[in-house]
A and B are shown apart, each in its own frame.
Chain A
Amino acid sequence: MNAPVKSVTLDGNQTGFATTRLEAVLGWARKYSLFKYPFVTACCGMEFMSLASPRFDHSRFGAEAPRFSPRQSDLLWVIGTISQRQAPVLKRIYEQMMEPKWVLGFGTCASSGGFYDNYTTVPGIDKIIPCDVYIPGCPPRPEAVLDGLMLLQDKIARGDRTPAIVKPRFDPVQGYQSDLVQLRTRRTDGSPEGGAK
């Protein structure tokens, strides 16, 4: 990916060309046209609604168009608790989806079963289907989900299928601050709210 980049701006009557790799251009196209199938089973669905509404607005990432048929979608959002009885249904939905397909585990329940260590809950969707990005949190904050979505897009662009997990942006033990997404911050000095820092 370290090939030299040379760009020129063409006038309207000029023609030109660009070179790239097929994989890279496909990855770039795929990452911005995700068609999601929301498999919403539990309380995380509420958080998903706030994520989809204008306040957090995940359509900014080219991933908002839901398809309620697995045959028309390539990103499965598993949102909420998956019970043992539901597991075969989830598996079948995953099998019906178009290739290439990705899976986002939204929330602790989907990622690991959460606190439901009991007779009825599947301890994580990866017992049934492969999962690309795990988003912990009960429910996860919308920022965490956006982190997860961007992480997934990054993985799609790189063709990377190893599972990934969303980490907190600030780790109080290590004192480490990552800069993946910076949403609007509330000012304390009275100046108007807004703008990335």
Chain B
Amino acid sequence: MSSAVLKRLQEVFGAAIVETHSQWGDDTAVVETARWLPIATFLRDDAACAFEMLSDLTAVDYPDREPRFEVVIHLLSLSKGHRIRIKTRVGDAEGDGAIVDTLCGVWLAANWAEREAFDMFGINFRAHPDLRRILMYPEFVGFPLRKDYPADRAQPLVPYRTAEEAGLTIDKVAPFGPLEGMSFARNDWTKPEL
């Protein structure tokens, strides 16, 4: 459906688009990690692409490959009604060096999704505003969705902490700050931004 978008990406970014494929109506482009942020910005801002919405950001672990991880984003254009999937490959066989630019500046929705990818796979997002674990607790060792994390390993129980003991500022305690959680419920829609 959006093979036109793939074509346009290849025209504009040339060799930075490592490979593309289309199957069952899903169009995918694998891109160079170094061009991750400019490509995302282009996909949002280009009039023919107009991907206003980041549906999902996640990662996949392929332990036999190098680079080992794929960071995947799924984009949706609300105005054009088309979708695309963009991937990039990062990380060596040990899982180190998995660094990719944050997309928080492009889509606000990337914030928590990147924290989840960091928490579960140990992928670092350069210049992320608040890269902390989101599901697991700070004492947790390792990254549980990596394929080499032992399936049945439980870790020691952690003590109870108040928000102060955890070092959380008030906007990190539910219902969270203006850019996190269901921010639309708190937005002032008379303002053009946010």
A87 engages B158 (CB within 8 Å): yes
Q: Are B158 and A85 in contact (CB under 8 A)?
A: yes
CB contacts (< 8 Å) of B144 on chain A: these are: 118-120
Shortest C-beta distance, A76 to chain B (Å), equals 16
Contact B155 A88 (CB under 8 A): no
B167 at the interface (CB under 8 A from A): no
Contact of A88 among B136, B151, B152, B158 (CB under 8 A): B158
1/0 per residue, CB under 8 A from B, across A119-139: the answer is 111110001100000000000
Residue pair A85, B160 in contact (C-beta under 8 Å): no
Interface of A is mostly: loop
User: Do residues B160 and A84 form an inter-chain contact, with CB atoms below 8 A?
Assistant: no
Q: Contacts A84-B157, A84-B158, A88-B158: A118 and B137 contacting too (C-beta < 8 A)? A: no
Residue from B135, B153, B154 with most neighbouring chain A CB atoms (10 Å): B154
**Considering residues A91, A118, A127, which has the most beta carbons from chain B within 10 angstroms of its beta carbon?**
A118
Interface size on B, residues (CB 8 A): 15
B113-154: contact bitstring with A at CB < 8 Å (1 yes, 0 no)? 000000000000000000000011100000010000101111
Q: Is A117 an interface position by the 8 A CB rule?
A: yes
Q: Is the CB of A128 within 8 A of B160?
A: no
Q: Which residues of B contact A117 (CB under 8 A)?
A: 151-152
Chain B min CB distance to A124 (Å): 11
Rounded to whole angstroms, the CA-CA distance of A127 and B158 in the bound complex is 12
Q: CB-nearest residue of chain B relative to A113? A: B154
Q: Does B159 contact A (CB under 8 A)?
A: yes
State the B residues within 8 Å of A (CB).
135-137, 144, 149, 151-155, 157-161
Chain A positions within 8 Å of B, measured between CB atoms, are 84-85, 87-89, 91-92, 117-123, 127-128
The 4 A-B residue pairs with the shortest CB-CB distance in the complex, in nearest-first order: A88-B160, A119-B144, A117-B152, A92-B160
